Structure 1
Amino acid sequence: MKFAIIAAGEGTRLSQEGVRLPKPLVQLNGRAMIDRLIHIFMQNGAEEVVVVINNESPLTKAHLTELEKHSDIPLRVVVKTTPSSMHSFHELSRYLKEDRFCLTTVDTVFREDEFSRFIEAFKVSDKDGLMAVTDYVDDEKPLYIGTDTDLNITGFYDMPMPGMKYISGGIYCLTPQAIGTLEHCICSGMSRMRNFQRQLVSDGLRLEAYPFSKILDVDHAADIPKAEAFLNEVH
Protein backbone atom coordinates (compact mmCIF):
# COMPACT_ATOMS: atom_id res chain seq x y z
CA MET A 1 0.00 0.00 0.00
CA LYS A 2 1.26 3.47 -0.89
CA PHE A 3 0.94 6.68 1.08
CA ALA A 4 0.86 10.20 -0.35
CA ILE A 5 1.32 13.69 1.06
CA ILE A 6 0.11 16.95 -0.43
CA ALA A 7 2.70 19.53 0.65
CA ALA A 8 2.48 21.98 -2.25
CA GLY A 9 0.70 24.83 -0.46
CA GLU A 10 2.51 28.09 0.15
CA GLY A 11 1.72 28.36 3.86
CA THR A 12 0.87 32.03 3.37
CA ARG A 13 -0.98 32.49 6.64
CA LEU A 14 1.84 30.97 8.66
CA SER A 15 4.47 33.18 7.01
CA GLN A 16 2.33 36.27 7.49
CA GLU A 17 2.14 35.42 11.19
CA GLY A 18 5.92 35.21 11.57
CA VAL A 19 6.60 31.51 10.96
CA ARG A 20 9.76 31.48 8.84
CA LEU A 21 9.95 27.80 7.91
CA PRO A 22 7.87 26.45 5.01
CA LYS A 23 4.84 24.58 6.30
CA PRO A 24 6.20 21.02 5.75
CA LEU A 25 9.23 21.84 7.93
CA VAL A 26 7.29 23.47 10.78
CA GLN A 27 8.13 21.48 13.89
CA LEU A 28 5.74 19.86 16.32
CA ASN A 29 7.50 18.80 19.51
CA GLY A 30 10.87 18.98 17.76
CA ARG A 31 9.98 17.10 14.56
CA ALA A 32 9.09 18.55 11.15
CA MET A 33 5.49 17.83 10.22
CA ILE A 34 6.50 16.09 7.01
CA ASP A 35 9.00 13.87 8.86
CA ARG A 36 6.34 12.95 11.38
CA LEU A 37 3.96 11.83 8.65
CA ILE A 38 6.60 9.86 6.77
CA HIS A 39 7.60 8.09 10.01
CA ILE A 40 3.99 7.19 10.76
CA PHE A 41 3.47 5.90 7.23
CA MET A 42 6.56 3.71 7.44
CA GLN A 43 5.31 2.35 10.77
CA ASN A 44 2.17 1.32 8.92
CA GLY A 45 3.93 -0.60 6.18
CA ALA A 46 4.27 1.97 3.41
CA GLU A 47 5.65 0.45 0.22
CA GLU A 48 6.31 3.96 -1.06
CA VAL A 49 5.68 7.51 0.16
CA VAL A 50 4.92 9.99 -2.62
CA VAL A 51 5.11 13.72 -1.83
CA VAL A 52 4.25 16.75 -3.94
CA ILE A 53 5.88 20.08 -3.08
CA ASN A 54 5.84 23.40 -4.93
CA ASN A 55 8.59 25.01 -6.97
CA GLU A 56 8.95 27.84 -4.46
CA SER A 57 10.08 25.59 -1.61
CA PRO A 58 13.85 24.99 -1.97
CA LEU A 59 14.24 24.29 1.76
CA THR A 60 11.65 21.54 1.65
CA LYS A 61 13.18 20.08 -1.50
CA ALA A 62 16.65 20.07 0.06
CA HIS A 63 15.30 18.48 3.22
CA LEU A 64 13.62 15.66 1.32
CA THR A 65 16.66 15.17 -0.92
CA GLU A 66 18.79 14.60 2.19
CA LEU A 67 16.19 12.23 3.56
CA GLU A 68 16.28 10.23 0.34
CA LYS A 69 20.09 10.05 0.44
CA HIS A 70 20.53 9.05 4.05
CA SER A 71 17.62 6.73 4.77
CA ASP A 72 16.02 3.57 3.45
CA ILE A 73 12.64 5.26 3.09
CA PRO A 74 11.06 4.53 -0.33
CA LEU A 75 10.41 8.20 -1.04
CA ARG A 76 9.32 9.80 -4.31
CA VAL A 77 9.20 13.61 -4.55
CA VAL A 78 7.20 15.48 -7.18
CA VAL A 79 8.05 19.19 -7.56
CA LYS A 80 5.17 21.11 -9.10
CA THR A 81 3.35 24.32 -8.21
CA THR A 82 -0.38 23.67 -8.53
CA PRO A 83 -3.50 25.84 -8.26
CA SER A 84 -5.28 23.65 -5.70
CA SER A 85 -4.92 20.60 -3.48
CA MET A 86 -6.98 18.59 -5.95
CA HIS A 87 -4.49 19.45 -8.69
CA SER A 88 -1.67 18.43 -6.35
CA PHE A 89 -3.44 15.10 -5.88
CA HIS A 90 -3.60 14.78 -9.65
CA GLU A 91 0.18 15.18 -9.86
CA LEU A 92 0.53 12.30 -7.40
CA SER A 93 -2.13 10.11 -8.97
CA ARG A 94 0.08 8.61 -11.68
CA TYR A 95 1.96 6.78 -8.90
CA LEU A 96 -1.19 5.63 -7.09
CA LYS A 97 -3.16 3.90 -9.84
CA GLU A 98 -2.17 0.32 -9.19
CA ASP A 99 -3.19 -0.34 -5.59
CA ARG A 100 -4.97 1.04 -2.55
CA PHE A 101 -3.47 4.18 -1.10
CA CYS A 102 -3.76 6.70 1.70
CA LEU A 103 -3.60 10.44 1.02
CA THR A 104 -3.41 13.42 3.36
CA THR A 105 -2.12 16.98 3.56
CA VAL A 106 1.14 17.75 5.33
CA ASP A 107 -0.45 19.74 8.16
CA THR A 108 -2.95 17.10 9.29
CA VAL A 109 -2.36 16.14 12.93
CA PHE A 110 -3.86 13.00 14.47
CA ARG A 111 -3.13 10.29 17.01
CA GLU A 112 -0.88 7.55 15.72
CA ASP A 113 -2.84 4.70 17.31
CA GLU A 114 -6.09 5.87 15.74
CA PHE A 115 -4.39 6.18 12.37
CA SER A 116 -3.02 2.63 12.59
CA ARG A 117 -6.50 1.26 13.33
CA PHE A 118 -7.84 3.29 10.40
CA ILE A 119 -5.29 1.77 8.01
CA GLU A 120 -5.95 -1.75 9.25
CA ALA A 121 -9.69 -1.24 8.80
CA PHE A 122 -9.15 -0.10 5.22
CA LYS A 123 -6.98 -3.09 4.39
CA VAL A 124 -9.87 -5.47 5.14
CA SER A 125 -12.69 -3.22 3.93
CA ASP A 126 -14.73 -4.00 0.83
CA LYS A 127 -15.56 -0.31 0.35
CA ASP A 128 -14.11 1.95 -2.33
CA GLY A 129 -12.88 4.36 0.30
CA LEU A 130 -12.56 5.03 4.02
CA MET A 131 -12.62 8.70 5.00
CA ALA A 132 -11.30 9.91 8.34
CA VAL A 133 -13.91 12.03 10.13
CA THR A 134 -14.15 13.76 13.51
CA ASP A 135 -16.81 15.48 15.56
CA TYR A 136 -14.18 17.99 16.74
CA VAL A 137 -14.77 21.16 14.72
CA ASP A 138 -11.86 23.59 14.69
CA ASP A 139 -11.62 24.42 11.00
CA GLU A 140 -12.36 27.75 9.35
CA LYS A 141 -14.34 26.12 6.55
CA PRO A 142 -15.22 22.58 7.65
CA LEU A 143 -16.62 20.05 5.23
CA TYR A 144 -19.60 18.36 6.83
CA ILE A 145 -20.32 14.73 6.08
CA GLY A 146 -23.70 13.07 5.78
CA THR A 147 -23.88 9.41 6.77
CA ASP A 148 -26.46 6.72 7.27
CA THR A 149 -26.70 4.62 10.45
CA ASP A 150 -23.87 2.34 9.23
CA LEU A 151 -21.54 5.31 8.60
CA ASN A 152 -21.82 4.99 4.84
CA ILE A 153 -21.23 8.46 3.39
CA THR A 154 -24.25 9.97 1.66
CA GLY A 155 -22.90 13.44 0.89
CA PHE A 156 -20.46 16.29 1.58
CA TYR A 157 -21.75 19.72 2.61
CA ASP A 158 -20.36 23.20 3.23
CA MET A 159 -22.95 23.78 5.95
CA PRO A 160 -24.22 21.36 8.60
CA MET A 161 -27.52 19.66 7.87
CA PRO A 162 -29.88 18.31 10.57
CA GLY A 163 -28.46 15.23 12.26
CA MET A 164 -24.94 15.62 10.94
CA LYS A 165 -22.22 14.83 13.47
CA TYR A 166 -18.95 14.69 11.58
CA ILE A 167 -16.65 16.80 9.45
CA SER A 168 -13.91 15.62 7.11
CA GLY A 169 -10.55 14.99 8.75
CA GLY A 170 -8.63 15.30 5.50
CA ILE A 171 -7.25 11.74 5.48
CA TYR A 172 -8.43 9.62 2.58
CA CYS A 173 -7.95 5.90 2.01
CA LEU A 174 -9.02 5.09 -1.54
CA THR A 175 -8.91 2.41 -4.20
CA PRO A 176 -7.61 3.06 -7.74
CA GLN A 177 -11.21 3.52 -8.90
CA ALA A 178 -11.08 7.00 -7.33
CA ILE A 179 -8.42 8.05 -9.85
CA GLY A 180 -11.02 7.81 -12.61
CA THR A 181 -13.21 10.25 -10.72
CA LEU A 182 -10.22 12.54 -10.22
CA GLU A 183 -9.48 12.55 -13.96
CA HIS A 184 -13.10 13.49 -14.63
CA CYS A 185 -12.86 16.37 -12.15
CA ILE A 186 -9.69 17.72 -13.74
CA CYS A 187 -11.09 17.45 -17.27
CA SER A 188 -14.26 19.24 -16.12
CA GLY A 189 -12.28 22.16 -14.73
CA MET A 190 -13.12 21.46 -11.10
CA SER A 191 -10.86 22.37 -8.19
CA ARG A 192 -10.76 21.77 -4.43
CA MET A 193 -10.69 18.38 -2.75
CA ARG A 194 -14.22 18.77 -1.42
CA ASN A 195 -15.58 18.86 -4.97
CA PHE A 196 -13.64 15.71 -5.77
CA GLN A 197 -15.20 14.05 -2.73
CA ARG A 198 -18.66 15.11 -3.86
CA GLN A 199 -17.96 13.62 -7.29
CA LEU A 200 -16.97 10.32 -5.68
CA VAL A 201 -20.49 10.11 -4.25
CA SER A 202 -22.03 11.18 -7.57
CA ASP A 203 -20.06 8.45 -9.34
CA GLY A 204 -21.49 5.84 -6.99
CA LEU A 205 -18.32 4.92 -5.10
CA ARG A 206 -19.01 3.29 -1.76
CA LEU A 207 -17.43 5.43 0.94
CA GLU A 208 -17.43 4.85 4.67
CA ALA A 209 -16.73 7.36 7.45
CA TYR A 210 -14.13 6.30 10.02
CA PRO A 211 -14.32 8.38 13.24
CA PHE A 212 -11.21 9.80 14.92
CA SER A 213 -11.45 11.46 18.33
CA LYS A 214 -9.77 14.62 17.06
CA ILE A 215 -7.94 15.81 13.95
CA LEU A 216 -6.25 19.21 13.70
CA ASP A 217 -4.85 21.31 10.85
CA VAL A 218 -1.90 23.68 11.25
CA ASP A 219 -2.97 26.76 9.32
CA HIS A 220 -1.99 29.52 11.77
CA ALA A 221 0.90 30.13 14.16
CA ALA A 222 -1.47 29.62 17.09
CA ASP A 223 -2.25 26.12 15.79
CA ILE A 224 1.32 24.96 16.47
CA PRO A 225 1.19 24.94 20.30
CA LYS A 226 -2.38 23.63 20.10
CA ALA A 227 -1.23 20.68 17.99
CA GLU A 228 1.75 20.02 20.26
CA ALA A 229 -0.50 19.97 23.33
CA PHE A 230 -2.88 17.57 21.59
CA LEU A 231 -0.05 15.17 20.71
CA ASN A 232 1.25 15.33 24.28
CA GLU A 233 -2.11 14.41 25.84
CA VAL A 234 -2.19 11.15 27.74
CA HIS A 235 -5.00 8.94 26.51
Structure 2
Amino acid sequence: MKVVILAGGYGTRLSEHTSVVPKPLVEIGGRPILWHIMRLYSHHGLNEFVICCGYKGSIIKDYFLDYMAHQGDFTVDLQRNRIETHRNGSEPWKVTLVDTGEKTMTGGRLKRVREYLGNSTFCLTYGDGVSDVNIRELISFHHQQGALATVTAVQLPGRFGAINLSSDRPRAARFREKDARDGQVINGGFFVVEPEALDLIDDDSTSWENEPLARLSEQDQLAVYRHQGYWQNMDTLRDKAVLQEQWDTGKPPWCVWNREPAASLKESSKSPQRVATGQAQI
Protein backbone atom coordinates (compact mmCIF):
# COMPACT_ATOMS: atom_id res chain seq x y z
CA MET A 1 0.00 0.00 0.00
CA LYS A 2 1.31 3.45 -0.91
CA VAL A 3 1.40 6.51 1.31
CA VAL A 4 0.73 9.97 -0.16
CA ILE A 5 2.17 12.90 1.78
CA LEU A 6 1.03 16.45 1.06
CA ALA A 7 4.23 18.49 1.25
CA GLY A 8 3.69 21.47 -0.98
CA GLY A 9 2.33 24.26 1.23
CA TYR A 10 4.02 27.55 2.05
CA GLY A 11 4.11 27.14 5.84
CA THR A 12 3.70 30.88 6.37
CA ARG A 13 3.29 30.57 10.15
CA LEU A 14 6.79 29.10 10.30
CA SER A 15 8.32 31.70 8.02
CA GLU A 16 11.46 31.92 10.15
CA HIS A 17 12.26 28.41 8.92
CA THR A 18 10.24 28.08 5.72
CA SER A 19 11.96 31.05 4.10
CA VAL A 20 14.96 28.68 3.88
CA VAL A 21 13.45 25.18 3.62
CA PRO A 22 9.93 23.85 2.96
CA LYS A 23 7.90 23.10 6.06
CA PRO A 24 8.23 19.28 5.86
CA LEU A 25 12.02 19.66 6.12
CA VAL A 26 11.91 21.74 9.31
CA GLU A 27 13.78 19.60 11.82
CA ILE A 28 12.79 18.05 15.12
CA GLY A 29 15.67 16.33 16.87
CA GLY A 30 17.96 16.81 13.89
CA ARG A 31 15.55 15.09 11.49
CA PRO A 32 12.92 16.69 9.20
CA ILE A 33 9.37 16.24 10.45
CA LEU A 34 8.76 14.51 7.11
CA TRP A 35 11.22 11.80 8.18
CA HIS A 36 9.34 11.26 11.46
CA ILE A 37 6.06 10.84 9.57
CA MET A 38 7.57 8.38 7.11
CA ARG A 39 9.20 6.47 9.96
CA LEU A 40 5.78 5.93 11.56
CA TYR A 41 4.35 4.41 8.39
CA SER A 42 7.48 2.33 7.86
CA HIS A 43 7.15 0.94 11.38
CA HIS A 44 3.74 -0.38 10.36
CA GLY A 45 5.07 -1.97 7.18
CA LEU A 46 4.38 0.77 4.60
CA ASN A 47 7.52 1.77 2.71
CA GLU A 48 6.27 3.19 -0.59
CA PHE A 49 5.71 6.93 -0.56
CA VAL A 50 4.42 9.49 -3.04
CA ILE A 51 5.34 12.99 -1.94
CA CYS A 52 3.39 15.93 -3.38
CA CYS A 53 5.95 18.71 -3.72
CA GLY A 54 5.22 22.37 -4.32
CA TYR A 55 6.86 25.28 -2.49
CA LYS A 56 10.64 24.74 -2.51
CA GLY A 57 10.00 21.21 -3.76
CA SER A 58 13.47 20.99 -5.31
CA ILE A 59 14.96 21.05 -1.79
CA ILE A 60 12.85 18.03 -0.81
CA LYS A 61 14.03 16.25 -3.96
CA ASP A 62 17.66 17.07 -3.12
CA TYR A 63 17.16 15.72 0.41
CA PHE A 64 16.22 12.29 -0.92
CA LEU A 65 18.78 12.31 -3.72
CA ASP A 66 21.50 12.82 -1.11
CA TYR A 67 19.90 10.62 1.55
CA MET A 68 21.91 7.46 1.01
CA ALA A 69 25.20 9.35 0.95
CA HIS A 70 24.37 11.14 4.19
CA GLN A 71 23.25 7.99 6.01
CA GLY A 72 26.01 5.58 4.94
CA ASP A 73 29.78 5.17 4.71
CA PHE A 74 31.57 5.01 1.39
CA THR A 75 34.87 5.48 -0.38
CA VAL A 76 35.19 7.76 -3.39
CA ASP A 77 37.86 6.82 -5.92
CA LEU A 78 38.28 10.13 -7.73
CA GLN A 79 40.78 8.83 -10.29
CA ARG A 80 38.57 5.91 -11.40
CA ASN A 81 35.30 7.75 -10.84
CA ARG A 82 33.95 5.00 -8.57
CA ILE A 83 32.09 4.89 -5.30
CA GLU A 84 32.39 1.91 -2.96
CA THR A 85 29.65 1.67 -0.34
CA HIS A 86 30.62 0.18 3.02
CA ARG A 87 27.46 0.70 5.06
CA ASN A 88 24.02 1.69 3.86
CA GLY A 89 22.11 3.25 6.73
CA SER A 90 19.08 4.13 4.65
CA GLU A 91 15.55 2.98 5.39
CA PRO A 92 13.87 0.53 2.97
CA TRP A 93 11.86 3.28 1.35
CA LYS A 94 10.79 3.76 -2.25
CA VAL A 95 10.01 7.45 -2.67
CA THR A 96 8.28 9.07 -5.64
CA LEU A 97 8.60 12.85 -5.65
CA VAL A 98 6.13 14.75 -7.82
CA ASP A 99 6.03 18.47 -8.57
CA THR A 100 2.34 19.21 -8.05
CA GLY A 101 2.60 22.98 -8.50
CA GLU A 102 3.40 25.77 -6.10
CA LYS A 103 -0.14 27.16 -5.83
CA THR A 104 -2.12 23.93 -6.21
CA MET A 105 -4.60 23.14 -3.44
CA THR A 106 -4.51 19.86 -1.51
CA GLY A 107 -7.15 18.15 -3.65
CA GLY A 108 -5.44 19.27 -6.81
CA ARG A 109 -2.17 17.80 -5.58
CA LEU A 110 -3.89 14.48 -5.02
CA LYS A 111 -5.39 14.54 -8.50
CA ARG A 112 -1.95 15.23 -9.99
CA VAL A 113 -0.39 12.11 -8.41
CA ARG A 114 -3.24 9.73 -9.26
CA GLU A 115 -1.23 8.07 -12.04
CA TYR A 116 1.30 6.92 -9.44
CA LEU A 117 -1.31 5.29 -7.20
CA GLY A 118 -2.80 2.64 -9.46
CA ASN A 119 -6.19 1.23 -8.50
CA SER A 120 -5.39 0.27 -4.94
CA THR A 121 -6.33 1.67 -1.55
CA PHE A 122 -3.77 4.19 -0.31
CA CYS A 123 -2.93 6.16 2.81
CA LEU A 124 -2.82 9.95 2.85
CA THR A 125 -1.48 12.42 5.38
CA TYR A 126 -0.06 15.91 5.76
CA GLY A 127 3.64 16.66 5.95
CA ASP A 128 3.50 18.67 9.16
CA GLY A 129 2.16 16.50 11.99
CA VAL A 130 3.11 13.45 14.03
CA SER A 131 1.10 10.92 15.99
CA ASP A 132 1.23 7.50 17.59
CA VAL A 133 -1.83 6.42 15.61
CA ASN A 134 -1.78 2.70 14.86
CA ILE A 135 -1.69 2.65 11.06
CA ARG A 136 -2.42 -1.07 10.85
CA GLU A 137 -5.57 -0.70 12.95
CA LEU A 138 -6.60 2.34 10.92
CA ILE A 139 -6.33 0.40 7.65
CA SER A 140 -8.19 -2.56 9.12
CA PHE A 141 -10.94 -0.23 10.36
CA HIS A 142 -11.24 1.33 6.90
CA HIS A 143 -11.70 -2.04 5.23
CA GLN A 144 -14.28 -3.07 7.82
CA GLN A 145 -16.31 0.07 7.18
CA GLY A 146 -16.35 -0.28 3.40
CA ALA A 147 -16.33 3.49 2.87
CA LEU A 148 -14.51 5.34 0.09
CA ALA A 149 -12.43 7.23 2.64
CA THR A 150 -11.61 7.16 6.34
CA VAL A 151 -10.42 10.21 8.26
CA THR A 152 -8.64 10.06 11.59
CA ALA A 153 -10.24 12.35 14.16
CA VAL A 154 -8.85 13.99 17.32
CA GLN A 155 -10.14 16.25 20.03
CA LEU A 156 -8.58 19.68 19.64
CA PRO A 157 -9.63 23.35 19.55
CA GLY A 158 -11.21 24.41 16.31
CA ARG A 159 -8.93 25.82 13.70
CA PHE A 160 -9.01 22.61 11.69
CA GLY A 161 -11.68 20.73 9.74
CA ALA A 162 -14.55 19.92 12.09
CA ILE A 163 -16.33 16.58 11.84
CA ASN A 164 -19.91 16.01 12.97
CA LEU A 165 -20.22 12.38 13.99
CA SER A 166 -23.19 10.11 13.60
CA SER A 167 -24.37 8.96 16.99
CA ASP A 168 -24.86 5.30 16.21
CA ARG A 169 -22.06 4.38 13.79
CA PRO A 170 -18.65 5.59 12.59
CA ARG A 171 -19.72 7.81 9.72
CA ALA A 172 -19.36 11.54 9.21
CA ALA A 173 -22.76 13.22 9.28
CA ARG A 174 -21.18 16.43 8.06
CA PHE A 175 -17.73 17.78 7.25
CA ARG A 176 -16.75 21.44 7.29
CA GLU A 177 -13.37 23.12 7.26
CA LYS A 178 -11.91 25.46 9.89
CA ASP A 179 -14.54 27.09 12.05
CA ALA A 180 -13.14 29.04 14.99
CA ARG A 181 -16.25 28.22 17.00
CA ASP A 182 -15.44 24.53 17.01
CA GLY A 183 -13.69 23.00 19.97
CA GLN A 184 -14.60 19.41 19.23
CA VAL A 185 -13.48 16.59 17.00
CA ILE A 186 -11.21 17.74 14.18
CA ASN A 187 -9.62 16.45 11.01
CA GLY A 188 -6.33 14.94 12.11
CA GLY A 189 -5.24 13.69 8.70
CA PHE A 190 -4.00 10.08 8.50
CA PHE A 191 -6.59 9.13 5.89
CA VAL A 192 -7.15 5.83 4.13
CA VAL A 193 -8.64 6.38 0.67
CA GLU A 194 -10.05 4.38 -2.20
CA PRO A 195 -8.96 5.65 -5.64
CA GLU A 196 -12.62 6.23 -6.63
CA ALA A 197 -12.76 9.07 -4.10
CA LEU A 198 -10.39 11.07 -6.29
CA ASP A 199 -13.18 11.38 -8.88
CA LEU A 200 -14.68 14.01 -6.57
CA ILE A 201 -11.72 16.34 -7.12
CA ASP A 202 -12.37 18.85 -9.88
CA ASP A 203 -9.05 20.58 -10.55
CA ASP A 204 -6.01 22.31 -9.03
CA SER A 205 -8.23 24.77 -7.14
CA THR A 206 -10.02 22.01 -5.20
CA SER A 207 -9.23 21.69 -1.51
CA TRP A 208 -9.45 18.07 -0.36
CA GLU A 209 -10.79 19.30 2.99
CA ASN A 210 -13.73 21.13 1.45
CA GLU A 211 -15.74 19.81 -1.51
CA PRO A 212 -14.48 16.19 -1.74
CA LEU A 213 -14.80 15.40 1.97
CA ALA A 214 -18.13 17.21 2.17
CA ARG A 215 -19.44 15.17 -0.77
CA LEU A 216 -18.15 11.94 0.75
CA SER A 217 -19.93 12.64 4.02
CA GLU A 218 -23.15 13.54 2.18
CA GLN A 219 -22.92 10.20 0.35
CA ASP A 220 -22.30 8.33 3.63
CA GLN A 221 -18.87 7.38 2.33
CA LEU A 222 -16.61 9.07 4.93
CA ALA A 223 -15.81 6.84 7.89
CA VAL A 224 -14.29 8.31 11.05
CA TYR A 225 -11.55 6.58 13.02
CA ARG A 226 -11.22 8.14 16.46
CA HIS A 227 -7.73 8.22 17.90
CA GLN A 228 -7.40 9.05 21.58
CA GLY A 229 -3.63 8.83 21.70
CA TYR A 230 -0.95 11.38 20.89
CA TRP A 231 -1.15 13.90 18.05
CA GLN A 232 0.66 17.16 17.42
CA ASN A 233 0.94 19.29 14.33
CA MET A 234 3.72 21.78 13.58
CA ASP A 235 1.85 24.84 12.42
CA THR A 236 3.68 27.55 14.40
CA LEU A 237 6.98 28.21 16.15
CA ARG A 238 5.29 27.30 19.42
CA ASP A 239 4.25 23.92 17.98
CA LYS A 240 7.82 23.30 16.86
CA ALA A 241 9.10 24.18 20.32
CA VAL A 242 6.63 21.73 21.91
CA LEU A 243 7.79 18.93 19.62
CA GLN A 244 11.46 19.68 20.27
CA GLU A 245 10.91 19.72 24.03
CA GLN A 246 9.21 16.34 23.81
CA TRP A 247 12.07 15.02 21.71
CA ASP A 248 14.59 16.28 24.25
CA THR A 249 12.98 14.18 27.00
CA GLY A 250 14.37 11.12 25.23
CA LYS A 251 10.89 9.61 24.96
CA PRO A 252 9.02 11.50 22.24
CA PRO A 253 5.46 10.11 22.30
CA TRP A 254 5.17 9.70 18.53
CA CYS A 255 8.30 7.53 18.16
CA VAL A 256 6.49 4.20 18.50
CA TRP A 257 9.31 2.50 16.57
CA ASN A 258 11.50 2.95 19.65
CA ARG A 259 9.14 1.28 22.08
CA GLU A 260 7.09 -1.41 20.35
CA PRO A 261 7.86 -4.18 17.85
CA ALA A 262 6.92 -3.64 14.23
CA ALA A 263 4.22 -5.85 12.74
CA SER A 264 3.19 -6.61 9.21
CA LEU A 265 -0.05 -5.41 7.68
CA LYS A 266 -1.22 -9.02 7.58
CA GLU A 267 -1.60 -8.88 11.36
CA SER A 268 -3.84 -5.82 11.28
CA SER A 269 -7.04 -7.83 10.99
CA LYS A 270 -6.34 -9.21 14.48
CA SER A 271 -6.07 -5.76 16.03
CA PRO A 272 -8.95 -4.35 18.09
CA GLN A 273 -10.71 -1.19 16.97
CA ARG A 274 -9.40 2.02 18.46
CA VAL A 275 -10.34 5.65 18.37
CA ALA A 276 -8.64 8.33 16.20
CA THR A 277 -6.28 11.42 16.01
CA GLY A 278 -6.26 14.68 14.02
CA GLN A 279 -4.01 16.62 11.70
CA ALA A 280 -3.56 20.06 10.24
CA GLN A 281 -3.56 21.13 6.64
CA ILE A 282 -0.36 21.77 4.72
TM range (shorter): 0.7 to 0.9
* Conservation of the 8 A alpha-carbon contact between 1:41 and 1:49: no
2:127 matched to which residue of 1?
106
TM-score by length of 2: 0.69
CA distance in 1, matches of 2:112, 2:136: 26
Decide whether aligned partners of structure 1 residues 180 and 58 sit closer, same or farther in structure 2, where only a CA change above 3 A counts: closer
CA distance in 2, matches of 1:77, 1:123: 27
* Conservation of the 8 A alpha-carbon contact between 1:68 and 1:75: no
CA distance in 2, matches of 1:14, 1:152: 34
* Conservation of the 8 A alpha-carbon contact between 2:53 and 2:97: yes
What is the aligned-residue identity percentage? 20
1:233 Cα deviation after fit: 4.5
Query: Are positions 1:31 and 2:61 aligned together?
Result: no
One-letter amino acid matched to 1:170: G
RMSD value, Cα: 3.0
1:124 Cα deviation after fit: 4.3
One-letter amino acid matched to 2:113: L
CA distance in 2, matches of 1:13, 1:2: 29
2:243 to 205, 227, 233: 227
1:200 matched to which residue of 2?
216
* Conservation of the 8 A alpha-carbon contact between 1:4 and 1:50: yes
Decide whether aligned partners of structure 1 residues 212 and 90 sit closer, same or farther in structure 2, where only a CA change above 3 A counts: same
2:203 matched to which residue of 1?
186
Tell me which structure has the larger Cα radius of gyration: 2
CA distance in 2, matches of 1:193, 1:143: 7
TM-score by length of 1: 0.82
Secondary structure class of the residue paired with 1:186: coil
1:64-109: CA deviation from partner (whole Å, max 9, x where unpaired): 2233787441111102323312222222222224111110110022
Query: Are positions 1:80 and 2:120 aligned together?
Result: no
Point out 4+ residue stretches in structure 1 off by more than 6 angstroms: none
Secondary structure class of the residue paired with 1:193: coil
CA distance in 1, matches of 2:18, 2:55: 21
Q: How does 1:89-100 map to 2 (within 5 A)?
A: 89-100=110-121
CA distance in 1, matches of 2:6, 2:152: 16
1:45 Cα deviation after fit: 2.3
1:165-196: CA deviation from partner (whole Å, max 9, x where unpaired): 411112211112211112xx328x54352332
1:210 to 225, 242, 258: 225
1:173 matched to which residue of 2?
192
Secondary structure class of the residue paired with 2:210: helix
* Conservation of the 8 A alpha-carbon contact between 2:171 and 2:217: no
| Structure 2: segments with no counterpart, 5+ residues | 70-87, 257-282
| Structure 1: segments with no counterpart, 5+ residues | none
1:142 matched to which residue of 2?
160
Q: How many residues align?
A: 227
